[in-house]
Structure 1
Amino acid sequence: MPQNEKLKKYLIAFAAAIIIIVAAYFTFFRTDPFIKNLMSSDTTRFTLILYGTEKTLPQELNAFLISYEKKSKVLKIVTVNTDVVVLKKRVKAESLKANFNKLAQKDINRAVENCLAELAEITNDNFKADYYIAMDYDVFSEFVDKKQKNIIVDISSGSRTFQLFQQLQVAKNVVKKIKSGTLVDFFKARSGYKNFNTNISKKALSWSVLYFDIKKTLIMFCDLPVRNSHARTITDSQNADAFFEEVYFPQTNLKDFPNITIEVRNASKKQRMGEKVSWFLREKKFDVADWSNYPEYYEQTIIKDYKGNFALSLKLAKILGCQNIIISYNKNSYYGAGVLVGADCEVYDKFDKSKTLKRGQNGKN
């Protein structure tokens, strides 16, 4: 057979293979429910469950309710306090974490299934996700980046604010990883799929690593409202319902800046930082009611949003050079937001001795 005839046959076979692959690709994207939802829906919702192993964070459990708003490019992440007690009739009330670990000893699939059902109860059926992903922390670390030591953080001790701050750092690292999704991550998702407990198909999970365009996405990190009752933690039903209705479900408004009252707490161990930040914000037309010292020390400044005014929190964070916003919704709070001044915050006033410091430096970290 002449050489050009062979080449012609090879080219035809190659072209046919490409056509088949492309056709299969587009058929898959039109028919797979997760990819179809990701491409066509304004909002994609799923639940993420992370649990400990004997080697890594034993008995630990974290649950996140996640929504991605394509239009506003906001990734809403609600972290659930897994110490919250699940109230059931005729059964001893146990925490979400305790119930999960008890079932996980016998059947991890059943533990995940039960956890999803209990999350629905805890949220008063407000959050209904079509998809879920559950994995242990070893798998999570491998999938995200095992070289990043701060991916796995023990948050079992410390205040709730400390726990939220640590979880927010993990969330930011994960989003950073997804933003830089590559073919390596595509194949990593495919090869590691057997270690995931999920109702998302292998193909969909793999392709979503490349398709999930969140390069300009903002993270709205929220804490599900809870309260203490008779020495146990339960869902704060009224605040939780209001949070979902007024903050979580509506499309995020990034333009309105309502006037709110702010509290400032000095968590930097630097003298007079609470006072200096308060006057600095007052100069910027913020209504700062008072300032005081905070019992915990923080390296980084944190904005705590009590009313879900995300646009205003972003503005406040920008002025202070802050990268950490946590929505701790409480409709009964007198304050609209709180500033925990960390050691990274630099604000100066006329009483500072150094003549080299200029007023224009205020708020820059």
Structure 2
Amino acid sequence: MGQELARITGPVPQRSSVTDYALNAGTTAVNAQRLLRALQLSRPVLLEGSPGVGKTSLVAALAKASGNCLVRINLSEQTVEQNIILVISYCICTKNKRVTNCVQTGGTCQCQSIGSGVTVECNTLTSKCLLMKAEMSSSKSGRFNKPKDAFEDTDGLYDPECENNGIFKAKQCNGTSCWCVNTAGVRRTDKHDTNLKCNQLVRTTWIIIEMKHAERKAPLSTESLRKAFVETITSRYLLDGRYIGDVEYETPYITVNLKQNSSRKFPGDVDIADVAYYFEKDAKGDSIFHNDRLNISIDNEVLNFEKTVVYYVDEIAPEFSMKSLTPGVIAVIVVVVLAIVAGIAVLVCSRRRKGKYVKAEVKEMNEMHRGLNA
């Protein structure tokens, strides 16, 4: 007869489905207290009892209540030591440090994303939605012709709602305010009340990353610059090179274009929104990678960034109104309007003064003529 070993440590490919286990019920509460006291000894604990009395359910409920995962290993005559070692072999997620409960399964490091508990694979980039949610959980504890419909992320970090596959839900809310986002999680509408309808998650097809590099003695080589960025984006961020567009340079500004239509994106391809988020964090010194800082060298000289701005272009234009303008933009508009009004006022006054001067001069000449005639 097979046996089952349950252990409240490390992640598990299959999480417990126990959702309605009553820990406060009579005998269950007593058993739970005994188990919790035993766990304080930091030694293995063996639960003994007849099949079906609730040994595994009790451990699963405690794991769920304490925020841990349950590793279940079925023991039988066919179980070998290698199977057990494989299941509880821990690993480090090199491409995402905002994870927990990492375990090596089938040659792949799998972890749980902080804040959502969604299992992520560490051989590729984690979706931006899960990364933002993890960062929120941790915190709780002119150089180029910008496209007409390109816009920036003016809201910054928020606690997003993610689908089970890690992508953003089309509608995001914060208390009583709701808005629609694109696949990059960037707000593309004004903020409304909770009755807002977001019919679809609009895809971001073009991302423009603009960087300002630190002061240098000589301009960079455009050819070397493009080669370095293509190699970095394809190797570090695992993006297929066909999604990398032009790399433009006008000292000291570097512009990288990433383009990815839904029709061109193959299943399993890294999304350009995730690449842009990883890169922006790298450029600002807050790398998501585990102990691996960004290092771009051009002609054997490390490239340092002073400023990074990301612009987004969606397949459907955003729906902003004047109400959504930031106070800074509104202030600029007011200043420009006042300057124009002041200029017009000065022009009108100068013309009136000139008119008075001409009239006075004509009057004086008429008086001179009358004096002479007399």
What TM-score bracket applies, with the shorter chain setting the length? under 0.3
Higher helix share: 1
How high is the TM-score relative to the length of structure 1? 0.25
